[in-house]
Amino acid sequence: AATKTANIKPDLQRVLPGRIMSILIKAGEVAERMGYQVYAVGGLVRDVLLKVENLDVDLVVEGNGIELADQLAREIGGRVRCHEKFGTAEIIFPDGYWVDVVTARVEYYEYPAALPQVEQSSLKHDLYRRDFTINAMAVALNPDRFGELVDYFNGREDLQIGAVRVLHNLSFIEDPTRILRAIRFEQRYDMAIEPQTLRLIKEAVREKILARLSTERMWGELKSILEEADPEHMLDRMWELGVWDYLFPEITFWEVQYVISEIPQALMILRNWGWTEPAEKWLPYFLGILHLTTQETAYQICQRYNLGRRQTDKVLDTIAYGRVALKRLAVAEEVPLSELTKIVQTLPREAYPLFLTLLEDKTAIRRFRMVMESVHKNKPTVNGKDIKEMGYQPGPMYRKALDAVWRARLDGLVHTREEELAYVQSFLEHHQAPKMQPKQAKARH
């Protein structure tokens, strides 16, 4: 295919923050001085053309990538971590932000002697190794070419027509995670997997290509999907294409499909009620997927994907207490707010979206909302530090005292900070909480 020359510098300027622009410009200047060509590639280029912000800078260097990374870091700050063996490096800035730099190797491919630039073709090889045409574009950064779009595989056109297309027929065999990536990009950008690519996916699934994938890589892709803005359609597509069974063979998709499809709406409602999004964005969906399984099955799935203990506990707690909590919230008689709160609190916060989708009648939803809002409004001011200053030994009584004062607040028994402190004090005395030894108490001050 003929390479189209277009300059997208105005798009870069419009879409990217100043900090990223400066890095790109500087990279081009440094490369020029070293006699290299440097390009920004992949997701950033794709997203700039879609006018979507993307902060992930991936640089490909025709030349020595590690040397370029070193010099660039010297001029813009940041330290370099390099992997000599692969010719790759990361420039890591003090705030944790980083830029990836890779060397486009001049490979053993033999070219007709007439071919003028070996450099050009080494970029092309780097791009050819990638997953989809929309991800295989580059932007030149050297000053005299800054903003020039390099598009060997018609990625720009595929973006315009909305096609997810592989570069060659062996793509999914080379890297089965691309099956999940195809689904993710298709749904994220509201595009369509192009017919030939779709055939290749179906063929690969039929040949059980996904069974070769390590659970670790599988989990990586699954997590990426569950952290997208709208994972529910991706999960539908996984089911449709026969991918689901490789990830959750123990779970029948259609039994959980409805609940999953309602989670985005629930997330929105909860945000309006003052609930803050959990750090692990994938967990509400993961709980939606697992909520009908038994504890044993859920445990096995958590083990398989190597989830940590805290995360596993959240899954198991949701399954163990979810149903009971639902029933209690649905009973008609008046239960004090503090009591309801205690019930809701047996569940991890990440289960609230699932919980809300499972609540059926209006009264129960109204109560859940009351709990959520009052929890938000009634946060007590006393904390563990206050209790320590009262001279109590750190231990389980701390949590109990704090829960108690919190319930007292919800039920309107205490209002001011003074009242809270007095309440905690009497609670601890009443329960004969252990005091610190005088020496210990002194050492802490």
CB of 52 to ligand CTP, least distance (A): 9
185 with 140: CB under 8 angstroms?
Answer: no
Q: How many residues bind ligand CTP (CB under 6 A)?
A: 12
Residue whose CB is nearest to ligand CTP in the complex, by number = 43
Query: How many CB atoms are closer than 10 A to CB 222?
Result: 24
Nearer Cβ to ligand CTP (130/342)? 130
Nearer Cβ to ligand CTP (56/70)? 56
Angle (nearest 5°) at CA 217 between 213 and 221: 115
Nearer Cβ to ligand CTP (50/316)? 50
**Integer angstrom CA distances of residue 178 from 118, 155, 201, 226:** 29, 17, 9, 16
CB of 167 to ligand CTP, least distance (A): 9
Residues within window 27-66 making contact with ligand CTP, judged by CB under 6 A:
42-43, 56, 58
Q: What is the DSSP string of 117-145?
A: -HHHHHHHHHHHTSSBGGG--EEE-SGGG
- In angstroms, the CA 119 to CA 158 distance is 26
Burial class (CB in 10 A: 0-12, 13-18, 19+), 289: buried
Query: How many CB atoms are closer than 10 A to CB 79?
Result: 12
CB of 131 to ligand CTP, least distance (A): 3
Report residue 140 as tokens: 């030149």
Nearer Cβ to ligand CTP (281/369)? 281
x/- mask, ligand CTP, residues 107-146, rule CB under 6 A, reads -----------------------xx---xx----------
CB of 102 to ligand CTP, least distance (A): 10
Distance of CA 361 to the CA centre of its chain: 33
CB of 244 to ligand CTP, least distance (A): 20
x/- mask, ligand CTP, residues 152-181, rule CB under 6 A, reads -----------------------x-xx--x
141 with 40: CB under 8 angstroms?
Answer: yes
Nearer Cβ to ligand CTP (60/315)? 60
Tell me if 148 contacts ligand CTP by CB under 6 A. no
- Residues found near ligand CTP in the complex (CB under 6 A): 42-43, 56, 58, 130-131, 135-136, 175, 177-178, 181
